[in-house]
Structure 1
Amino acid sequence: MRTDQHHHRGSNATAAGWWLERVSLLVVLAIVGLRPLIAEQYGSGESTLTQAIGLVHDPSPVTTLAIDAAILAAWVLWFAAQARGRGRAYRPTGAEWGLAVIAVTAAVSCLAAGNKRLAVNGAVDWVCCGSLLPLLVQQLTTRGRVQLALCVILASAAAQAVECVHQRFWVFPETEAMYAAERDAIWGRQGIALDSPEVAMYEARMGSREANGYLSHSNIAGAHLMTAMIVAAGLAIAVLCAPNPVGGGASIGPWMVAGLLAVGLVLTRGRGAEVAGAIGLAALIARVRWRGWIDTHAEWMWRVGWLMAGVGIVAVIGYGGWSGTLPGRSLDFRWKYWTASAAMIADRPLTGVGGGNFGRHYLRYKGVDSPEEVQNPHNFLVTAASDWGIGGAIGVVLLVCGVSRLIAHPPVNRDVEAVIASDDDGRAWPWWGVALAVAVFGPRTALLGSDDSNYIYFATVVPLLAWVGAFIVVARRPIGGLKIIAGGIAIALATFLLQDTINFASLVPGTLATAFALAGVVAAIRHLPKNAAAQPREMSSAGSACVALGILATVVFGIVRPVYHSHRSMSAARRATSWTQAVALYDEAASADGLDSRPLYECGRLLQATALTSSDPVGALDGAIERLANAIDRDPENLAIYASISRCQLIRANQTGSSDDYSAAIESGERAVALYPTDPAQHVWLGECLAAEGSARQNAATLRRAADEYREALRLDAARPAWEVIRRLTGAQRQAIADQCGQVERDAEAIRGRSP
């Protein structure tokens, strides 16, 4: 009787563990499928163009943090499943040391970062995203689960490619027609002149017709499609080369998916991704052609591969250092990013500037011959070093080296194709497909950022059909040729890293999640023979589940909760009908999240605009200055905040005639110049502040300083590259600055002539 009761309790525990494990897998695969199909950002800002158009909203950082919490919840569920009778030995991935070093260095960088909210959000997301790799290795214990993961990854990539086609042939022409009709109104609502660089850059990008799918940049969409295309090609070749092929027609489906992804890749017009994709396909063909020799010499090839990578890095640095540039304008831009980043890293070698803070610091180091004001250095190693310090770059190298070592190391049992799982989830793929389609597109519909029902319907149905079609094509037959599939994924990941030496896909959650998921799949394939040879053993995971639950609670209550409440109040403030109501909501948002400078900045800008029509302009300006000063405390390297507070201080000085107000405006202007010394606009503004005080105080020395700033602005503009036309001052602007410079010089001479 007691034995029967014990067996019944054990059966219940095993059943509970069975369900917990599958729910954990469902959550992870849903995240992997969802992230490439949505836009994400770590900050809470909303672009002025988005506000002016008003059809959609910029993504919220709450979305990203909620996804991170879901990843941690999946870990909790997996540990709980092990504790409830599904215990297995932990399977190492080679990523553990690298992820640990990255987690520590990212945490340290958060303490040293200027904008701690961006740094914390970025660090949490990168580490949580990285944890998908070891979690998937623990979850993908059967051939069917490996196939399921590939189905999700390729289905989301297919939806991405279909959206690129839709954008190129339907969305772009309609957008251009709408923009032409509303051009004046769109920019007028933002207070931006039609001949400004912002308008020129926007129209140049729109005219290029570079499809970006659901991601923020065409370069990133290209990286995503390129990586998935190589995986799909490897899957198709594996079907043809399987030990027991089911016929040549079985590979048509994967080839169709690969072809669709190639079309999407071409439409992104990403030359780097196209070249890297061609290299990857060539490497895949070589991998299949000489697979016997490569399998025998995998360890040797791993060493040679790393040696070639090191030689390549040294060669690029040597050539760039010798010539001062790299071939082609695009690579020349990258070289300028990297050399400026090197100076930044030298100033903060141990802590870095913090994730998301690169763009704030970069302006201080960039030369005037480097026109682009980038938010990252377009290289995953340089990014790690600049964001997290030298230790962060070491962590990334350890991560890549460790995972690649596992991938290259031959498995214990060479007969990978003999693996047959007793609980293969591949037989239940229709049920998994329905559950995953709901889990991916249910949340995605809520995250589209629009209230237009027609837009929501169309933006859901089209990618859903593409997603389901690709899922069925990949899932309908059991996969074989796991060695070739693993080789294809390894080549896809190597190609992803190759292209990311001039790109920033490792900073975008959608592409980063895909890369880590693919690494998890190929590492899991390497562990499959061990599963077949050894029975699972019981592992006490209750303590691990408690630790994971504690981390989850810390993230939810310490990070997600304040960001959620702050963003909710800030969104309400943006929709407020009166400025007093908006100010109260912005203050509420600032109180909810003590790290975010955005609500204080937006509130300060609102009060600055209100002062122009207020019956008490000085009071409104005081409120603006107070909030902008508090924003500086939270974000001390933000150029826009200094520019705004300087304008408020100068307006107040002109109202009150106070010397302190003039001095404050000049001090803020000087700080803006220090943050961006090669920007003519900052020197022009500082010149205006100095000219205003010099005229009010009749101080010739101050006026001469103003003239010096005007001349410096003209000098910097003249030093721009000859081909730079978008950011260059117009002839009228240069003449206006020259006239102002001449006027203040004449005023200074007049004052000096009147002095005894």
Structure 2
Amino acid sequence: MADSRAVRTAGSATGGAARHPGTTRLEKTIRWLFAGWVLVLFLSRFFYVAESADQGDTLWIVAGWITAALGWSLLSWIWPSTQFQLGWLGVGVALLFGGEAISTLQIVLGSGDQRTAINLAWEALGVVIAWFILHQHCGSFQFRRELLAALLATGVTSAGLGLYQHYVDFPQMAAKYAPLFDRLKQADPNKAASIRKELASENIPTDGPALILFEKRLRDSREPLGFFALANSFGGFLAVSLILAVSVVASRIRAGNRWSGKQLTLWIVVFLVLGWALLLTKSRTAWLGTGAGLVLLMLLSGRTLLTVRGLQYCVGVGAFLLFFGWGLTMFGGLDRQVLTEAPKSLQYRLQYWQATTRMIADQLLFGVGPGQFRSHYLRYKLPEASEEIADPHNLFLDVFASGGIASFLGLVLIGVVLFKDLGTEPETEAPVSGANPQWGILLASIAAVAWLLLLLSGADDRLLVVLPVAMGLFWGLCRVLDGIQAETSLLRAGWHAAAFTLMCHLCGAGGIGMPAISLLLLTLIDCGTVHRPGLQNSMRGKVDIRWLPLSAFSLLLLCGLITTGIRPISITQAALMSGDRLVTKGQLSAAELEYRKGEQADGWSSESTRRRAELSYRQAAADHFRSNESFLNAVQLLNDAKRRNPTYFRDDVRLAEWWMERWRASQNSKDAAQAVAALERAWDRYPTNAILMSELAIACQRAGKLAQAREVAEKALRQEAINREWGHVDRYLEESRKRELESLIGETAS
């Protein structure tokens, strides 16, 4: 029985090549090519900014996964040998993403940011397809071994990039842009406009709280980011890589393998680079997750680390980490504030969680929808909180808020699957005789093609260096892992511990909404789960026509993705860029045509309509609002943009600014009253914004609503006092505005 189970498991990823002596060389080659394509698709998530999925920037990866689904269905039809099995993990995945799919429908019907919801719906589908295909491959230890080498190579390469950012790239940015910020504060209006234009060309905020936060981070922070937008997300990925590396080393210790000089050097570099970059991220949640993962790994390792040799390694690693941490502190890589401000960071998170819990109570069944958290959260944000966060910094609250109760139950079930198999010995598999050299050649070829495509599409030029280094490191790690011919309990425990590390990190940090992070978590759990022959459909030697409809469905999905995602987004982005260039040249009519083209291409996006509104307002302002038609057209266009994203409070703020500018020209209280109405709508969506309240108070005064003006001004000053008490410098009112509000209160009181 054990032998039959071993043979079955060993061949599941390669389509039965190990099980059936009749497998042809052509079938085996094609299946290895397909497995390589799957692995490259999985890793491609970590070489692109993970946080940009909501903008549609990574839909090309989804297209790759749909193509892989088409290929998998065709292979299963031509050579029907697939072991189709899902189990409880599949039920959890279905609930998790099914809840988000239902939530997306209500957004598309008009209750939120439609374009973002559509993008993330496609991304969620891509994750489900990716997990399904990876699930069929993760039953093979040979695939898991190659996946382990690939993850470690990606982690170490990203960590090396992070070190470069910390010591070279970010200091150069500070030296370049910090003087511009100093000049901006002292410049006259004409010079300030020129400086803002220069900053905007580099996608740097030019005013408001965003500018304050960017300047503060640029001057005071050097946390590496890798290919992520946030150091916390990068730290979570590095923590996973570090735990996997520890499991490999611990497995070799248990096996009593001797280390060659090259192998010892390689593992020293792996731990040095990963640990160094992880510490520099200053991600306390990633550190805690790493500690939790190491503890779990030790508990699951049995007596491996309790031997004399194991204890020697532990003492040596511990001493090295202490010395390493001391060295980083001495040379400025770390500071005491990382630890001393931990209670404040926890306090902030408690504020996020409290507000999110109230929000979930109002959206219990379906949640607010994917990508909609921030716009809804602002209504519930506590007065003492500062950040306009994009997620609640908690794994379970994030899922519950986005997908409702179904998604939450799915996540709980996935966690149960993880802990259910803790400590379970892996099934005995047929030994693997070293790494197949096709892997290195195959992945190098595919990665080279992907690399060229990325460069031709204008992607990050850092890939010129990073991808070749990652491929070389992958090849070296494959050679090192040659000696591991069958999975041990420690390697299985490593997958468990890595998944547990990531979950612990995500309980205090955001990221589960990123396709890269959610797919990573599911894959780690899948690799650590015992693949039993339970729910499966063995088709060896059969022709099953069900794969033909599946192939057709994959083609329909690909067409749908291109039609509703990739094509309209690419056309709109090109139109917006072209329109913006024409505006800088003063060719407003031509810019209007470009924006209209983007608007017609994407009926779910509001940005093209918003740009058209700005153009129309610009024409009205240039005419000193003598043309009522241009102004009302601008208002109408902005209201059209709001209908595609009704929860975006800044549209109402912008609308109020327009009405107030018209009031300054007309001195008509009706114009000020329109501004009041717009600001009241914005305030309803963001009731703790002192700046917004101050604008409303001034507008009420201009509209002759003195009692309301005084009431709102008092609330604005109370919120300002709270902001100063908590040290939220990006939320402070300007001194001139404070004096204006105090004067308003005094005048209305008399």
The verdict on a shared fold, with TM-score over 0.5 as the criterion, is yes
> Which residue is 1:705 aligned to?
708
Q: Is residue 200 of structure 1 aligned with residue 212 of structure 2?
A: yes
1:467 to 449, 470, 477: 470
> What is the identity, as a one-letter code, of the residue corresponding to 1:441?
W
Instruction: Judge conservation of contact 2:569–2:602 (CA < 8 Å) in 1.
Output: yes
Q: Is residue 622 of structure 1 aligned with residue 632 of structure 2?
A: yes
**Per-residue deviation, residues 234-264 of structure 1 (Å, max 9, x unmatched):** 1222233337767686465345323311111
Q: Is residue 110 of structure 1 aligned with residue 104 of structure 2?
A: yes
> Which residue is 1:132 aligned to?
130
1:232 to 219, 242, 245: 245
> Which residue is 1:319 aligned to?
none
Q: Is residue 693 of structure 1 aligned with residue 708 of structure 2?
A: no
Greater alpha carbon shift after TM alignment, 434-443 vs 169-178? 434-443
Change (3 A) 1:283 1:105: closer
Change (3 A) 1:166 1:673: same
2:46 to 27, 30, 36: 36
Any gaps of 5 or more consecutive residues in structure 2? Answer: 1-20, 185-191, 307-340
> Which residue is 2:621 aligned to?
612
2:549 to 539, 543, 547: 543
1:508 to 505, 514, 518: 514
2: CA distance, partners of 1:38 / 1:195: 28
- Aligned-residue identity in percent: 22
1:89 to 83, 107, 112: 83
- SS of alignment partner, residue 371 of structure 1: coil
1: CA distance, partners of 2:205 / 2:264: 55
> Which residue is 2:415 aligned to?
400
Describe how 1:259-270 pairs up with structure 2 within 5 A. Answer: 259-270=272-283
2: CA distance, partners of 1:286 / 1:448: 47
Instruction: Judge conservation of contact 2:576–2:595 (CA < 8 Å) in 1.
Output: yes
Q: Is residue 358 of structure 1 aligned with residue 373 of structure 2?
A: yes
**Per-residue deviation, residues 506-559 of structure 1 (Å, max 9, x unmatched):** 122333333333334444xx44999xxx99554623333333333333333233
> Which residue is 1:592 aligned to?
601
1:720 to 710, 720, 723: 723
1: CA distance, partners of 2:601 / 2:564: 11
2:684 to 674, 679, 683: 674
Greater alpha carbon shift after TM alignment, 500-509 vs 347-356? 500-509
2: CA distance, partners of 1:738 / 1:629: 30
TM-superposed deviation, 1:163? 1.0
> Which residue is 1:642 aligned to?
652
1: CA distance, partners of 2:228 / 2:342: 29
Change (3 A) 1:617 1:742: farther
Describe how 1:336-347 pairs up with structure 2 within 5 A. Answer: 336-347=351-362
Q: Is residue 215 of structure 1 aligned with residue 228 of structure 2?
A: yes
**Per-residue deviation, residues 283-312 of structure 1 (Å, max 9, x unmatched):** 32333243799xxxxxxxxxxxxxxxxxxx
TM (norm. structure 2) is 0.81
> Which residue is 1:305 aligned to?
none
2: CA distance, partners of 1:134 / 1:195: 45
Describe how 1:543-582 pairs up with structure 2 within 5 A. Answer: 543-576=549-582, 577=585, 578-582=587-591
TM-superposed deviation, 1:729? 2.5
> What is the identity, as a one-letter code, of the residue corresponding to 2:303?
W
2: CA distance, partners of 1:337 / 1:37: 30
Q: Is residue 99 of structure 1 aligned with residue 93 of structure 2?
A: yes
Instruction: Judge conservation of contact 1:105–1:388 (CA < 8 Å) in 2.
Output: yes
2: CA distance, partners of 1:557 / 1:731: 47
TM-superposed deviation, 1:76? 1.2
TM-superposed deviation, 1:26? 3.0
Instruction: Judge conservation of contact 2:435–2:478 (CA < 8 Å) in 1.
Output: no
2: CA distance, partners of 1:742 / 1:527: 70
> What is the identity, as a one-letter code, of the residue corresponding to 2:588?
W
TM-superposed deviation, 1:441? 2.7
1: CA distance, partners of 2:417 / 2:710: 58
Instruction: Judge conservation of contact 1:105–1:389 (CA < 8 Å) in 2.
Output: yes
Change (3 A) 1:460 1:139: same
Q: Is residue 287 of structure 1 aligned with residue 296 of structure 2?
A: no
1: CA distance, partners of 2:431 / 2:549: 32
> What is the identity, as a one-letter code, of the residue corresponding to 1:345?
I
**Per-residue deviation, residues 329-380 of structure 1 (Å, max 9, x unmatched):** 1111111111111111111111111111110011111111111111110111
- SS of alignment partner, residue 505 of structure 1: coil
2: CA distance, partners of 1:556 / 1:20: 27
Change (3 A) 1:504 1:721: same
> Which residue is 1:151 aligned to?
149
Change (3 A) 1:446 1:140: farther
Greater alpha carbon shift after TM alignment, 180-189 vs 356-365? 180-189
Instruction: Judge conservation of contact 1:115–1:636 (CA < 8 Å) in 2.
Output: yes
2:71 to 74, 77, 102: 77
Aligned residues: 666
> What is the identity, as a one-letter code, of the residue corresponding to 1:509?
P
TM-superposed deviation, 1:635? 0.9
2: CA distance, partners of 1:198 / 1:377: 20
> What is the identity, as a one-letter code, of the residue corresponding to 2:62?
D
Change (3 A) 1:348 1:130: same
Instruction: Judge conservation of contact 2:607–2:641 (CA < 8 Å) in 1.
Output: yes
1: CA distance, partners of 2:146 / 2:354: 43
Q: Is residue 388 of structure 1 aligned with residue 403 of structure 2?
A: yes
2:487 to 482, 487, 492: 482
> Which residue is 2:165 aligned to?
167
2:350 to 335, 338, 348: 335
> What is the identity, as a one-letter code, of the residue corresponding to 1:430?
G
> Which residue is 1:55 aligned to?
none
2: CA distance, partners of 1:551 / 1:351: 24
2: CA distance, partners of 1:557 / 1:15: 38
> Which residue is 2:732 aligned to?
729
Instruction: Judge conservation of contact 1:65–1:121 (CA < 8 Å) in 2.
Output: yes
> Which residue is 1:377 aligned to?
392
2: CA distance, partners of 1:195 / 1:349: 37
2: CA distance, partners of 1:403 / 1:124: 26
2: CA distance, partners of 1:254 / 1:75: 36
Any gaps of 5 or more consecutive residues in structure 1? Answer: 1-10, 45-60, 294-325, 451-455, 695-701, 750-756
Instruction: Judge conservation of contact 2:254–2:304 (CA < 8 Å) in 1.
Output: no
- SS of alignment partner, residue 90 of structure 1: strand
Instruction: Judge conservation of contact 1:99–1:127 (CA < 8 Å) in 2.
Output: no
2: CA distance, partners of 1:135 / 1:153: 17
2: CA distance, partners of 1:738 / 1:270: 40
Instruction: Judge conservation of contact 1:153–1:514 (CA < 8 Å) in 2.
Output: no
1: CA distance, partners of 2:716 / 2:412: 42
2: CA distance, partners of 1:86 / 1:17: 11
- SS of alignment partner, residue 374 of structure 1: coil
Greater alpha carbon shift after TM alignment, 94-103 vs 220-229? 94-103
1: CA distance, partners of 2:439 / 2:417: 32
TM (norm. structure 1) is 0.80
1: CA distance, partners of 2:443 / 2:272: 22
Q: Is residue 495 of structure 1 aligned with residue 501 of structure 2?
A: yes
> What is the identity, as a one-letter code, of the residue corresponding to 1:87?
S
